[in-house]
Structure 1
Amino acid sequence: MKRRRDYQPIYENTFKRHRRWHRLGIFLLILIVGGLSVWGWHQWQRHEQQQLGMFPVRGVSISQNSGYLDFQKLSNHHQFVYLQATSGATYADDDFSNNYSRSQGASMKIGVIHTFSFTSSAEQQYQHFTNIVGSDTGTLPIAINVAYYDQYKNGYSGMPAQAQKLKQLVRKLSANYQQGVIILAKQSVLNQFVLPVLPHQAEWVMDGTLQHYASPVKMIEYDATGQLNQSGQSQAVGLSVFNGTAKDWKTFSHND
């Protein structure tokens, strides 16, 4: 008796061939998408570097989340650094004092940041800032970071009173330290909350783009979640530029 031969229907062979081509197609698609992504990233990096070329003065903002930074290395490519110092009437950045001390030997301008609180009075925030920071304010204008949260946003009935509180804090810091104040905030916050009460106050635009802004914008944060690599470690920083010329910078930074 003849052994029965296994029989595979033609549609099964066709299915296997189609499956192989399908897998190959997916693989090629992944390669193409990956290649385009890499190309697009390099193009974006190139564009950003070209845009940065318009701004000769660059810097970073750091906090306790940034980890340990070598300020001497930082000064090789940056002209200024802002250190997070205080927030509201009770909070102080854990690394402020250490960062300020280590920054003093670096050839770059130093500034400090206070984060504005809607739930503390101007006097409470002013006293807290002076207690923590003392005279360790650097030479750059003191930055006040303003951001909406909870009910404190555009349209809330209590915002006009909050704006007056911000104005009081600006006046207190300006009078005591005599080095100016700059407001760090998103463009919407600046337009809605700050400008009505402080129309000529220096501004530092958060989440801005690398383009020249009209006065009173002095600084532009173009990457709030930037990264710096030092000694193989990636450090979280905010990346900013000064919105002006090197000559303008000398005046702004109190560089005689």
Structure 2
Amino acid sequence: MRRYRHRYHHKYTFPSIIILLIVAISILLFGVYNLHRSTNTTVPRGSNMSVLGIELDQTKDDVDLHKVQDNGVSFVYLRSTQGKTYFDDNFLLYRDQLQGTRLSWGSIVTYSNESTPLEQYQFFMKKVGQNSGNLPVMIVPAVDSQSKKYWRSLATFAQYLQSNGKKILVADNHHWKNLFLPETQFLYTGASLKNRKDYSFWCYTQNGRVKNTEYLEGGTTMFAYIGSMSNYQQLYDSNLTQ
């Protein structure tokens, strides 16, 4: 007896089914990928960097730092002062809590264009003092300025801190390097890391998340150390002030 076989009578039917299957599988894989990204700590795209950090300030209360360290984060930067009058409400709180963790940490200074370098240095030392962490003090411009006068002023502020034994990390894409002392480090802030030899750290997102950590589910500024894990451990793998 002749075996019955179903035959497709339209030459486009079978290819159409294959295409639909491919599209469906692609959508499924894309959904799984995005679910994985949305539930895990945000990492730099296209990079194998494993030493990650976050920023904390008074907009994020009650963050459990032990959960932070257990979910892929190695260091924390704390907002401290801006200009000669502003001091972050959570700086001292988080600074104390960090002592009970293995997280390295550092201080962020937002450099104002409305006060002198000396005024801002004196205010920082009054509020933060020597206990600014074992990471370099990060100086972030308060304004998006291309004024050489402003950057000279910021460089002078950096030198005040350096004369007091502080290491400095400037959040600028190396444009004003010649105004700073040779030992000054720089933070890359672009979306795609280039010329990594010119930088020590990278701010790779301002909308990241830390897995299983309340108040850090989104909108978290995140950093990566540009270098090997062994170099990081040698330089910074301790939360004791250096």
Report percent identity of matched pairs: 20
In 2 relative to 1, CA 166–50 (structure 1 residues): closer, same or farther, beyond 3 Å? closer
AA at the equivalent of 1:120: S
- Is structure 2 residue 152 aligned with structure 1 residue 164? yes
Q: Which residue of 2 aligns with 1:120?
A: 115
Q: Mark the structure with the bigger radius of gyration.
A: 1
In 2 relative to 1, CA 74–119 (structure 1 residues): closer, same or farther, beyond 3 Å? same
- Which structure 2 segments of 5+ residues have no match? 1-22
Tell me the CA shift for residue 204 of structure 1.
0.9
1:121–1:165 CA contact under 8 A, matched in 2: yes
The 1-side partners of 2:152 and 2:214 are apart by 46
Q: Which 4+ stretches in 1 moved above 6 angstroms?
A: none
The 2-side partners of 1:125 and 1:50 are apart by 36
Q: Deviations over 1:197-239 (max 9, x none)?
A: 1274211112433x46433300011111223354554364211
- Aligned pair count reads 209
Q: Which residue of 1 aligns with 2:231?
A: 248
AA at the equivalent of 1:135: Q
Once the two structures are superposed, the pairs formed by residues 40-55 of structure 1 within 5 Å of their partners are: 42=33, 45=37, 51-52=46-47, 54-55=48-49
AA at the equivalent of 1:214: R
- Is structure 2 residue 43 aligned with structure 1 residue 60? no
The 2-side partners of 1:112 and 1:85 are apart by 6
Q: Deviations over 1:54-92 (max 9, x none)?
A: 112111111111222111111122111100011111111
The 2-side partners of 1:50 and 1:56 are apart by 12
Q: Which residue of 2 aligns with 1:69?
A: 63
Secondary structure at 2:114 match in 1: coil
Higher RCO (Cα < 8 Å, 6 or more apart) = 2
AA at the equivalent of 1:127: Q
Q: Give the structure with the larger helix fraction.
A: 1
Q: Deviations over 1:172-196 (max 9, x none)?
A: 11111x24100123x3xx42xx223
- Is structure 2 residue 120 aligned with structure 1 residue 138? no
Secondary structure at 1:66 match in 2: coil
- Is structure 2 residue 76 aligned with structure 1 residue 81? yes
Taking only aligned residues, the RMSD between alpha carbons, in angstroms, comes to 3.1
AA at the equivalent of 1:181: I
